[in-house]
Structure 1
Amino acid sequence: MSGGTGPGGGAGSGAMSGGAGRRRLVLHVDLNNTVVVADAVSGQGPRAALNTFLSTVTWGRVGAAGEWQWASDRPSLRPPCPGVLSYYSHHGRDPAFTETGPGRCFRDLHAHHLQLLEWPGKPHDVLSVPGEENRHYHLILPSFFHLLETLHREGRAFAVVFRTFGTDLPRALRAVSCALAGQHPRFPALRDLALPVDLTLGRIRCSKREVVLTRGAERLGTQEGGRKLYDYFSSFEGIGGFQDHFDWWAKNQFSSRGGKPLWIDPHDPDLHHIFIDDNIRLDDADTIVHPQVFSERGSRNPRRTPTSELYNICLVQTNLLEAIADEDYFLRCVRKCEENYERYLACREQDAPSQQWDGQ
């Protein structure tokens, strides 16, 4: 079965009805520091991008004399104890984090993961990117391609929607297209997916009045509610991408209110939307996705939903270190979300309070 088969699309429709692991998946996937360890906007290559990520997942506090004191020598997505700050929240994101200052204690960890990112053999014009000392690195993490390959092998129906604030979308789509043409040395079987890649760049723009999506001749808005955009993404086929509205996020103080919009309908038996992004956080004042849930069957107007209600259910905070080191990482994240989504739906059916599933 093709991974791009949509709802009611022949072979895919029979296997996706209800049950854990059988719903059609729509995977909304961030690029920078989620599946791409680079950032064209800031000019960061893999070394700097990995440093930047490490500065967001290491924790400490400011001492009495103003010095930085580490609370843990291990990176983690969440604070290891109460009363600590991530390094970036106090000092800002640091592309030289492990090279100067207190971040030097994480230098070996950075070097290890940078080595894991190295491209094997002869560089590819699209799939690899150059770095320092004539080294080349994966543009897109192997764990992402492994996810696609495994979902296809399991006969799953799915689509992938890249959602980024940056400008890396064109080259990411080209790279995926090359991989699906069988050009990736580690994943030659990807040519069997028959999964279309649409290189047309989409845009999502937000305002107080509405959210507007455009891609080519397509244009949809939310003046009458979010249902049309939910239906649009639910019927999405293949792989494509959209640039979300960074300025709106900044105008809303980088909170969920200004984040990348995501619509969830728990009454839809055939679909499971999952958003994967390294900047998803449990603190709604400092997170990147704006989740909205249709509380009533068939309703047009969803309610704003806290990240905690959907964390590891429809929202995945990327652990970039694990995504680099473990080829099964994204596959495990998706499966964890599917298991937790079943529990989430069961709680709703029983009119019980929603539970927060952290998957730990």
Structure 2
Amino acid sequence: MSRQLLQRCSKKHLVIHMDINKTIIQVDQAGGRTTDDVLNSNVAANTFGLVDPTDNQWRPLYCAADAPVVLPDAHSGPIMSYEAYIDRLHCAPPGMQELPKAERDAIWKSVSNLRRQATRKFTFPGEVGESYAPLVNLQRQHLKHSDGQHIIPAFFHMINTLSELNLRFTLIFRTFGSDLNTVLQEWRSFVLGTHACKPSGPVLQELKESYIEPLSGSFFRQGDDVYICYGPHVSLSSHLKSDFEEKDPVKVLEHLQQVPGCTSAHKTSFSDLKDHLVEYFARSKNIGGLVDYYPSWAQAAEHRTGGKVFPISQNDPSYYFVFFDDNIFIGDEHSIVDIREADGAKSIVGVEVERKYCVPVNAFRAIVDKEYFVSELCACLKLQDSEL
């Protein structure tokens, strides 16, 4: 059914934005988490329970792999994952946004660290999720990589499916971290056939025969002021001082043009970016990567208005747009993707609209189900185009 639906999508060009950390690789460099940390947090996000009113502690009821359970008669309050419980327990304090930048950064760093420390040990002996440790091992069984290979098989399966159907697409890897170069190297080994997962289909064959190294770039963001620096593979936060608050566009560009690897830098807009990103990456066979600006998101207490820029045009006659990210929260201001209407830059918030363009990736399911990305892609496309 999925392949039949995709075959009907050939009239438009597909633009895929693909997050890296905890979406297609199970190491979170931006958050300082190892593979074991991430696999535990994946289980924490898929194990659900209730907060016990007698001591305000979360108690597990079931995981996503379980059959439906009968809730206790005396239960009260919402059922939530352990990850959601921890996010509520450790959150930004009131008034944080009014504090000086250095204080905001310090507070959010502490909040993020408390969250990571809680979920990284979810299934450890003596912890509340100890009985779900087999789910960590299940993920490991699906992630038997060769040395230097980290991308999960379901991602390559989706790319092969698109290639086999001869569908034209632009693939843009997105990250806050320092892992873009590593992922692009693994992409290269996949396309050239030296990876454990082998390429198939005419699109990938064409990429192999005339292989070009993917282009890259990095964003700098201050609120709705967005700059793009073409060339770098790393975050601009590694080159700009933590207290960098320059507002003058001319001076900002002077700083960006001095970044190692920068070929050009521009102040841009949501309207310009929609088409320009597709045009830019067309120069490297429609494959490339962008490093987003983490300080913007952190300073906004992880609100979408400081997140990953994603301009779209609803009912676009030429393109389908889909963004995959494990930190997408549909209809929630804390979603990592700042989806905007390209014409007018209006922020798009709403379950019905966001589901058309955004996939809140469940990393656990993506690891254990080879068809996961294909299925989620098809669900988005069907919502974008009623004729499918």
The alignment's TM-score, normalised by the length of structure 2, stands at: 0.71
Aligned residue in 1 for 2:372: 329
Q: What secondary structure, in the 3-state scheme, does the structure 1 residue paired with 2:11 have?
A: coil
| Cα distance in 1, alignment partners of residues 338 and 213 from structure 2 | 25
Q: Is 1:173 matched with 2:160?
A: no
Partner of 1:67: 57
Letter in 2 for 1:211: V
Q: Does 1:116 align with 2:164?
A: no
1:60–1:42 Cα change, 3 Å: same
Deviation at 1:188, TM superposition (A): 4.5
> d(CA) in 1 for partners of 2:345 and 2:46?
32
Aligned residue for 2:364, secondary structure, equals helix
- Residue 28 of structure 1 contacts residue 276 of structure 1 at CA under 8 Å; is this kept in 2? yes
Note if 1:46 corresponds to 2:35.
Answer: yes
Return the match for 1:282 from 322, 327, 330: 330
Deviations 1:180-229 (A, max 9, x none): 1111233153761416564554111211351111112243333xx42211
1:298-322 deviations in whole A, cap 9, x for unaligned? Answer: x4x2211115243331100112122
Letter of the 1:88 counterpart? E
Distance 1:28 1:290, change over 3 A: same
> Aligned pair 1:318/2:364, yes or no?
no
User: Structure 1 residue 86 and structure 2 residue 65: aligned?
Assistant: no
SS in 2 for 1:303: coil
Inter-CA distance 40–226: structure 2 relative to 1 (3 Å threshold)? closer
CA–CA distance in structure 1, aligned partners of residues 195 and 83 of structure 2: 35
Where does structure 2 lack aligned partners over 5 or more consecutive residues? 1-7, 87-114, 232-262
CA contact (8 A) 1:38 1:45 kept: yes
Aligned match of 2:46: 57
**Alignment equivalent of 1:97, drawn from 122, 127, 132:** 122
CA distance in 2 between partners of 1:218 and 1:51 (Å): 41
| Partner in structure 2 of residue 131 of structure 1 | none
After TM superposition, where is structure 1 displaced by more than 6 Å over at least 4 residues in a row? none
Considering fraction of residues, name the structure with more helix: 2
Rounded Cα–Cα distance in structure 1 between residues aligned with 2:30 and 2:305: 23
Give the SS at the match of 1:140: coil
Distance 1:325 1:56, change over 3 A: closer
User: What's the offset of the Cα at 1:43?
Assistant: 4.6
For 2:200 and 2:16, the matched residues in 1 are separated by: 21
Q: Is 1:157 aligned with 2:168?
A: yes
Q: Distance in 2 between matches of 1:25 and 1:218?
A: 26
**Range with greater deviation from structure 2 (328-337 or 63-72):** 63-72
2:227·2:266 contact (CA, 8 Å) conserved in 1? yes
C-alpha distance in 1 between matches for 2:267 and 2:359: 26
1:248 aligns with 2:274: no
Q: Which residue of 2 aligns with 1:140?
A: 151
- Partner letter of residue 34 of structure 1? T
* TM-score (structure 1 length as normaliser): 0.76
Is residue 20–residue 339 contact of structure 1 (8 Å, CA) maintained in 2?
A: no
Say whether residues 1:221 and 2:267 are aligned partners.
Answer: yes
Q: Which residue identity is paired with 2:124? A: E
Aligned amino acid, residue 117 of structure 1: L
* Stretch of structure 1 that moved more, 231-240 or 310-319: 231-240
Give the whole-Å Cα distance in 1 for the aligned partners of 2:40 and 2:11.
38
Deviation track 1:51-109 (CA, whole Å, cap 9, x = no partner) reads 12222333333322233222433379xxx997234323433232222114111121111
CA 1:67/1:302 → structure 2, altered by over 3 Å: closer, same or farther? closer
SS of the equivalent of 1:312 reads: helix
CA gap 1:72/1:286 in 2 versus in 1, 3 angstroms: farther
Most deviating of 318-327 and 34-43: 34-43
Gaps of 5+ in 1: 1-18, 128-138, 347-360
**Displacement, 1:50?**
1.1
Amino acid at match of 1:55: A
Q: Match for residue 192 of structure 1?
A: 205
Of structures 1 and 2, the larger Rg is shown by 2
CA distance in 2, matches of 1:150, 1:197: 21
Distance 1:73 1:86 in 2: 9
